[in-house]
Amino acid sequence: MACQQIDTSSIKLESATVFSDQEKTELTEMLHKFDNAVCALSSKSKISDCYIEFIYSSAIEMDKGNLLPLVNNFTQEEREEILSSLSPSLRNEIWESYTEKLSKRVEGSFGKFILTFPTIKIKFGKYAEFLDTDLSKISLATCNYVERLTMQGYRFNPFYLHNHFDELDINNEQLRLSIAIQYLNFCERQTDINKSTDEFYDGIKNAFKDRRRKQQEEVKQ
């Protein structure tokens, strides 16, 4: 993908070529909800200032490894309300279900356990096509941004956004849509990880308790 610099003035979501008119209406409604949620976290009034604070705080928390506060910027109910603007068919153009695997260590044991859990990820559908066909063509900065997203498997990356904020025009609705989708995808995945990890360690604890109880019963016998 060759990056070129073009006029970036007045880039609206409605100018995207990949989505249908109905899909653009749904995405615009979702984006406006996300914009309002981001600005509700800030004392600023300008949307660009709200996003600067949001991206900066996200980068700080992620750098510390504090992913829970990052997820908890919005409650599960608030995220669901934002996503309620999208029809099931449009969601299927953005996300797909899959099973992820993570290795976990358990204190006092040798080796690692493999944790498998269901979650979602960005699929190669209309949204991925939108990134390549529309967003990447807006400017050199958005082209580089899309290239980085693609290389990182469409993962939310507040560090890159923070480091390149001066180059990226946050008034560009297409860019903000991408930030919204990447962030919501991050939250969903991290929520699934947290839930599955809690269930995994609860299972380990219960297994140790059962083994200790059986050992105690054997001693009594």
Q: Taking Cα atoms as reference points, which of 118, 120, 119, 116 lies closest to residue 102?
A: 116
Residue 176 scores a pLDDT above 80: yes
In one-letter notation, the amino acid at residue 160 is Y
Kindly state the percentage of the chain with pLDDT values over 70.
84
Band of the pLDDT at 160, cuts 50, 70, 90? very high
Average pLDDT score over residue span 6-21? 76
Q: How far is CA 60 from the centre of its chain?
A: 16
- Tell me which residue of 118, 119, 127 sits closest to 94, measured CA to CA: 127
> Which of 113, 106, 64, 80 is closest to 188 using CA atoms?
80
Phi, psi of 110 (to 5 degrees): -100, 145
Whether 7 has a pLDDT exceeding 60, the answer reads no
Higher confidence at residue 81 or residue 103?
A: 81
Q: Other C-beta atoms within 10 Å of 89: how many?
A: 11
pLDDT at 6 over 50: no
